Amino acid sequence: MKFETISLEKRADEIAVLTMLRDEVMNTLSLEMMAEIRQAMLDCLDDPKVRVVIITGRGRAFCCGAELRYYVGPEKFDHHQARAYLIKVQGLFDFVEEFEKPVIGAINGFALGGGAELSMVCDFRIMSETARIGVPEIKLGVLAGAGGVQRLPRLIGRAKAIEMNMLGSHLTAEEAEKFGLLYKRVPPEKLMEACLELAAELGRKSPIALAMIKACINMSMEVPVKNSLKFGLETMLRAFAYEDQEEGMKAFFEKRPPVFPGRSFGIKPK
C-alpha cells in the first residue's frame, strides 16, 4: 500500500511503525495525512501479523497539530468546513484511542496542540529527552478542541491541565514524566529502541486480553463504576471462549512462557 504523507513499516517481529512524513510543516494534520493514518491503522488492524503499532514523526516534530492554512490565508475554511475538519480530527483520535491493538506514541520532537492530543490517545508515550509537549491553542485565541481539555486532566490531574491549557505552556520530557504523562523518557538516540523493546513485550502478551483490557479501561472512564464493573465481569467471562486463555493457564501450570495464538476481536471501528 503506497502512502504520500506517511510511511508504514511492518516488521518481522509483528510490530508496525507508522511515521508521519510532513516534516517540512512539522507534521501538521492535513486532511490527506489523517486519511492515510486511518487507512494504515485499519490495515494493521486487519493484519493478524501486526500485534503493536508505534506512531512517530520525521524531523523535529512528532506532530504540531492543526493545519493552520485551513484557518488563515487563501485556503481558509469557512465555518462549516472548519467544523467538518475538527470533527475529522476528533474522529481520528477516537479511532486511535479505541484501536484494539496496543499503540505506542514515540514522541521524537515537538508534540503541540493536536500533536499532544494525538499522543494522549496512544496507550503508552515514550518521549525523547529533547522533546516538548503542550497545548498552546490559547495563544491563538482558541482552545484545544480534540481532547486536550478533556483528556489531559484525566492523565495529569486538573490543576496541571488548567495551567497548560490556560497559559499555553509546554512540558519538558522530565516534567511530563513527573506528572505521569509518560511511560518513560529516553535520550533521542534511544527512542525507537525503547519503543521497540516495549512493543516486543506487549507482543508477547495475549492480544485478546490486551484488547479486552483496553475496552474495559476506556469504558471505566466514561460510565459509573457499577456499570463498568458489570462490563468488566462480562468481558472477563468472554475471555474464556478464546484459545489465549487456555494457552495462558496451561503454560502457567507447565512452568513455561505462553505462546498466545491471538485472533481478531470485536468489530472494527468505523
pLDDT in tens, 220-248: 988 899 999 999 999 988 888 899 988 89
DSSP class of residue 123 equals S
Q: Of the listed 14, 36, 67, 137, which one is catalytic?
A: 137
Domain CATH number, residue 241:
1.10.12.10
Same domain, 68 and 198: yes
Residue 268 inside a domain? The answer is no
Same domain, 182 and 67: yes
Residue 1 inside a domain? The answer is no
The DSSP bridge pattern shows strands 170-172 and 132-134 to be antiparallel
Same domain, 230 and 114: no
Same domain, 212 and 83: no
Same domain, 103 and 178: yes
Count up the domains in the chain and report the number. 2
DSSP H helical ranges for 221-261: 225-239, 243-253
Say how many C-beta atoms besides its own lie within 10 A of residue 117's C-beta. Answer: 29
- What's the pLDDT score for residue 108? 98
Domain CATH number, residue 132:
3.90.226.10
Same domain, 129 and 194: yes
Same domain, 70 and 179: yes
Same domain, 168 and 238: no
Kindly report the pTM of this predicted structure. Answer: 0.93
- What's the pLDDT score for residue 263? 57
Known active-site residue 117? yes
Encoded amino acid at 35, one letter: A
- Closest listed residue to residue 45, CA positions, set 218, 257, 270, 195: 270
Instruction: Return the ∠ at Cα 179 (arms to 178 and 183), rounded to 5°.
Output: 75
Intervals of the chain under pLDDT 70:
263-270
Residue 259 inside a domain? The answer is no
Residue 126 inside a domain? The answer is yes
For residue 222, the enclosing domain spans 207-253
- Closest listed residue to residue 34, CA positions, set 70, 73, 79, 10: 70
Residue 72 inside a domain? The answer is yes
Please say which residue of 203, 221, 243 terminates a domain: 203
- Closest listed residue to residue 118, CA positions, set 16, 51, 220, 20: 20
Q: Which tens digits make up the pLDDT trace of 183-205?
A: 999 999 999 999 999 999 999 99
Same domain, 198 and 227: no
Question: 3-state secondary structure string, 147-180?
Answer: CCCCHHHHHHCHHHHHHHHHHCCEEEHHHHHHCC
Q: Of the listed 67, 97, 100, 117, which one is catalytic?
A: 117
Same domain, 23 and 43: yes
Task: Please report the sign of the dihedral spanned by the C-alpha atoms of residue 43, residue 90, residue 99, residue 268.
Answer: negative
Distances (CA, A) of 16 to 23, 45, 55, 200, 233: 20, 10, 9, 11, 31
Same domain, 159 and 230: no
Known active-site residue 4? no
